[in-house]
Amino acid sequence: MKLLEDRILQDGTVLPGNVLKVDSFLNHQIDYKLIKALGEEFYNTFKDTGVTKILTVEASGIAIACAAAEHFEVPVVFAKKGHHKNVGNDIFTADVFSFTKGITYTVAVSKKYLNAQDKVLVIDDFLADGQACMGLKSICEQAGAEVVGFGIAIEKGFQNGGKLLRETGIPVQSLAIIASMTDDSICFASND
């Protein structure tokens, strides 16, 4: 998606440790116009898949998920990280290992908000090692729900998550795929 790639080139910065900083428009400060465009793009791709729920994980996925929800006209469910007392005990959970942080955390969704009739579009802001998305997929499976697609804003194409998700056979749309990045250049790959 050219709009997102251009914005990454304009405002993204590369930090040591393969960190792409996009906090001026995506995951700290949010450009609502860009987010709306991302949501519409996911709709254009997945509009014929019968989506009944959009599932993301707090916090950075929420804005994009809501922007998409407006087009699909379905609820958003955001998985909570860790154990929140507000979620209750009747929950689906998955353990997610973060390669970046070197820790495992739990994501949880109340059993009330996913069921066997649901067709779920999983949305997240970043795809790196794919563990968060696989955790959300596991939660859907526990609910008997079907994941009909993964919608990712930025995929780090040089990490393993894209391969992992595509091997599931579930369609993956990444709006920008970073093929490589250094201090002074960011190269994109095609999504085809």
Binding site for its own copies (CB under 8 A): 19, 21, 23-24, 27-32, 35-36, 58-59, 62-63, 65-67, 69-70, 73, 75-78, 80, 85-88, 109-110, 112-113
Rounded distance, CA 78 to CA 54, Å? 8
CB of 142 or CB of 168, closer to its own copies: 142
Q: Which is nearer to its own copies, 50 or 88 (CB)?
A: 88
Rank residues 120 and 172 by Cβ distance to its own copies and give the closer one: 120
- Using only C-alpha atoms, what is the Rg of the chain? 16
User: Which CB, 2 or 85, lies closer to its own copies?
Assistant: 85
Which helix (DSSP H) or strand (DSSP E) does residue 175 occupy?
A: strand 172-182
Residue 106: phi, psi to the nearest 5?
A: -105, 135
**Would you list the DSSP string of 78-125?**
EEEES--GGG-SSEEEEEEEETTTTEEEEEEEEGGG--TT-EEEEEEE
Gap between the Cα atoms of 102 and 111, Å rounded: 28
Three-state SS for 171?
A: coil
Closest approach of its own copies to the CB of residue 91, in Å: 10
> Closest separation between CB of residue 78 and its own copies, Å?
7
Token pair for residue 118? 């649901």
Q: Kindly state the smallest distance separating residue 44's Cβ from its own copies, in Å.
A: 18
63 or 94: CB nearest its own copies: 63
Q: Which two tokens stand for residue 134?
A: 């696989």
Q: How far is the CB of 60 from its own copies (least distance, A)?
A: 8
Shortest Cβ 64–its own copies spacing (Å) = 9
